[in-house]
Amino acid sequence: MSTNNLAETTAIETVAGVGTVDLAKSTVRDLNQALHDQHDEMNIQEWEVLNPKGHHNIAVGIDQKLKIDIRGPAGYYCAGMNKEAEVTIHGHTGQGVAENMMSGLVRVKGNASSAAAATAHGGLLVIEGDAGSRCGISMKGVDILVKGSVGHMSCFMGQAGVLAVCGDAGEALGDSLYEAHIYVKGSVKSLGADCIEKEMRAEHIEELTELFERAGVTDQDPRDFTRYGSARQLYTFKVDNAGAY
Amino acid sequence: MSEKRKYMTEPRESATFDRSTMSEIRRAADTGIYDIRGAGAKRKLPHFDDLLFLGASMSRYPLEGYREKCNTSVTLGNRFAKNPIELEIPVTIAGMSFGALSAYAKEALGRGASAVGTSTTTGDGGMTPEERGQSTKLVYQYLPSRYGMNPDDLRKADAIEVVLGQGAKPGGGGMLLGQKITDRVAQMRTLPKGVDQRSACRHPDWTGPDDLEIKIKELREITDWQVPIYIKVGATRTYYDVKLAVKAGADVIVVDGMQGGTAATQDVFIEHVGIPTMAAIPQAVQALQEMGMHRKVQLIVSGGIRNGADVAKCMALGADAVAIGTAAMVALGDNDPKWEEEYQKLGSTAGSYDDWHEGRDPAGISTQDPELMKRFDPIEGGRRLANYLRVLTLEAQTLARACGKNDLRNLEPEDLVALTVESAAMARVPLAGTSWIPGQQPF
């Protein structure tokens, strides 16, 4: 067992090149600072976080190609604003997982609470369980794959990117949608304002196939999904549409 | 003169249905849509003109106007941030977006503010290189829309302002109509070119002050606790909002009164939601004082600040600094009479032009039209803004010295009296010539 310089103050250990932070002994501040310090040093590329126990703001603001495994449930904003890193949460996660992600991969082995990948600009979020309400709210280019179901108001004001749901979707899916693409395999309780069902063409089959490959999903057939998108009727304000606002 | 006309009274305009009101009724009947405009409340409101300073005489000792120092610097954000912002003057530039303003106008704001050692603020739509390049102190707004929001810019900022609302439209989101969604604006906001952009009014990933506390910690974690975090609220239930903002962990609180401007929203919103700036300050200060946080969490006030007297009065009521938006635009050259002919063609007149959302600003400031933008020189605009900021500071110093204060922040409510009963009640200072503060003590 070796110990890096940070260990003197933050109880961070490195074992076989993997940095380990035990949040029963260290703080989230210690963890994030150690991860941010890799921006300059890049001497530990793989990390393991023990005893997350629902702490908020774990592994936020990472901007390097780190691989981070969080061994247990995480609280709010886990992997928020992620760039390039591959973060796996081996448990459930709280509100706003991968919010405003720019790139990289975040995988949730359990369920995710509301506002998953809110406003995220890029990267891929995979939720192996269910996602709560407003999944992909104001998404700006991220791709999201949910193997379970999503709650109400998902993809609200979605601007760009893909939301694929292998289960069902709640009320008001895609409300006030811009150009995000939505695919749902199961039922949709209701569509939001300006969101309509659209034809599933070859390029959409291809888009979903490619997404499944990136997400490591092998048990889904893109042809089983229905596509939803913007009717683009609310893009410019028309008094005739006042009832839709 | 005919016998009939001789006995006619002069036509009498209704105070209730005045010309402006009736023209709005006709406009609504013609179009079926509410009026959208920029700027802040135009109705007459109790304002800082209703307050007066009590200069020193026998019972107070004035400072020599031209020889004795009167400090204007202020430190913002030293509650938690490792690197608070040090301003040389207590007048900052409020958030105005690239999109609402041209890139040249944003550059000019940076040039002017930097010349006098104060900060500028981004706005909806993200940070432009022009703005970052010219602003030595730049506050990055974190808005519900998160347009253009990215962690790299967050880390480039000197402070982060979490925007919950603004005085022109507390409870409302931003609006940028299609005329101004050019290729560059669309790219920065990830929107289709030419759409009417309607920003969300609530943040997408938190609700309520307990969530906000976690969100603020996230922002601190991402920036390694380096920079101050402001919370900006539109003035409504200011006492409670300020208490909750302190609890949520703000370093600095920005309170924007209803005279504060906007690039675009419904006129009915601007004129009928919120409270005057003057009424909000005592509420904010009371909240801070009760929590033992006055001067520890700094208070920035905005909304209708026009001159050094307004600056001094805000500070006497307990603000640590003020922010200007509309006045900064006027200093740059907006609504200048030299464009009168063109304002007339737009159905307006210099001094009243507020259709900033249409993108046809003759002054080339609130536009994305390449030809109109060329009319505006960012170097000259920056020089004008710096001059104006210097005048605001000199005027505030003049009044502070007259009150015997060697620091603008030593001004206090005891230096003020009110001209009207309502301004006395709102500002919580005595009616001039009396010791009566309505609402605080019986007459």
**DSSP run (H or E) holding B176:** strand B175-176
Task: Examine residue A97 and state whether it is found in any structural domain, yes or no.
Answer: yes
List the A86-89 sheet strands across, edge first: A12-15, A18-22, A46-50, A67-71, A86-89, A105-108, A124-127, A140-146, A160-165, A181-184, A226-230, A195-198
Which residue in the block uniquely carries the two structure tokens 């928020």? A80
Residue A112 near chain B (CB below 8 Å): no
Which residue in the block uniquely carries the two structure tokens 């920005």? B254
Task: Examine residue A195 and state whether it is found in any structural domain, yes or no.
Answer: yes
At residue B418, the pLDDT reads 98
Task: Examine residue A91 and state whether it is found in any structural domain, yes or no.
Answer: yes
With CA atoms as reference, report the closest residue to B215 among B163, B175, B262. B163
At residue B66, the pLDDT reads 80
pLDDT tens sequence across B43-66: 999 999 999 999 998 888 999 888
C-beta of residue A158 within 8 angstroms of C-beta of residue A139: yes
* Minimum mean pLDDT range among A52-56, A237-241, B147-151, B336-340: A237-241
At residue B6, the pLDDT reads 74
Q: Which residues in chain A are contacts of B146 at CB distance < 8 A?
A: 100, 118-119, 138, 140
> What percentage of chain B carries pLDDT values higher than 70?
98
User: Helices B277-290 and B308-316, interaxial angle, to 10°?
Assistant: 30
Task: Examine residue A238 and state whether it is found in any structural domain, yes or no.
Answer: no
At residue A239, the pLDDT reads 65
Task: Examine residue A98 and state whether it is found in any structural domain, yes or no.
Answer: yes
ipTM over 0.90: yes
Q: Which residues in chain B are contacts of A100 at CB distance < 8 A?
A: 146, 149-151
Q: What is the pTM of this model?
A: 0.94
B437 CB-near residues (< 8 Å, 6+ apart): B424, B425, B428, B429, B430, B431
Residue A224 sits in a domain whose CATH number is 2.160.20.60
For residue A4, give how far its alpha carbon lies from the nearest alpha carbon of chain B (Å): 20
* Minimum mean pLDDT range among B95-104, B232-241, B271-280, B418-427: B95-104
For residue A226, give how far its alpha carbon lies from the nearest alpha carbon of chain B (Å): 24
Q: Which residues in chain B are contacts of A141 at CB distance < 8 A?
A: 190
Whether B150 and A100 lie within 8 Å, measured CB to CB: yes
Copy the structure tokens of residue B345: 């063609």
Whether B221 and A28 lie within 8 Å, measured CB to CB: yes
C-beta of residue A109 within 8 angstroms of C-beta of residue A125: no
Domain count across chain A: 1
Strand partners, B420: none
Query: Average pLDDT for residues B212-222, to the nearest whole number?
Result: 98
Task: Examine residue A59 and state whether it is found in any structural domain, yes or no.
Answer: yes
Q: Which residues in chain A are contacts of B160 at CB distance < 8 A?
A: none
Whether A29 and B154 lie within 8 Å, measured CB to CB: no
**Host domain of residue A11:** 7-233
The C-alpha atoms of residue B403 and residue B49 are separated, in whole angstroms, by 18
Walk me through the domains of chain B, giving residue ranges and CATH numbers.
Answer: 36-410 (3.20.20.70)
Query: Quick check: B416 pLDDT over 80?
Result: yes
Task: Examine residue A173 and state whether it is found in any structural domain, yes or no.
Answer: yes
Query: Quick check: B387 pLDDT over 80?
Result: yes
At residue A14, the pLDDT reads 87
C-beta of residue A226 within 8 angstroms of C-beta of residue A197: yes
Query: Average pLDDT for residues B308-317, to the nearest whole number?
Result: 98
Q: Is B50 helix (H, G, I), strand (E, B) or coil?
A: helix
* Minimum mean pLDDT range among A196-205, B72-81, B351-360: B351-360
At residue B443, the pLDDT reads 58
Interface test with B, best of A31, A76, A142, A162 (most B CBs within 10 A): A76
Beta strands in chain A (DSSP E): 12-15, 18-22, 46-50, 67-71, 86-89, 105-108, 124-127, 140-146, 160-165, 181-184, 195-198, 226-230
Which residue in the block uniquely carries the two structure tokens 């700027």? B39
Query: Quick check: B196 pLDDT over 90?
Result: no
The C-alpha atoms of residue B443 and residue B439 are separated, in whole angstroms, by 9
For residue A218, give how far its alpha carbon lies from the nearest alpha carbon of chain B (Å): 31
Whether B151 and A32 lie within 8 Å, measured CB to CB: no
Query: Quick check: B282 pLDDT over 90?
Result: yes
Nearest to A239 among B33, B217, B222 (CB): B33
Residues in chain A predicted with pLDDT less than 70, given as ranges, are 1-11, 41, 238-245
At residue A5, the pLDDT reads 45
* Minimum mean pLDDT range among B1-5, B140-144, B159-163, B306-310: B1-5
Average predicted confidence (pLDDT) for chain B = 94
pLDDT tens sequence across B25-41: 999 999 888 888 999 99
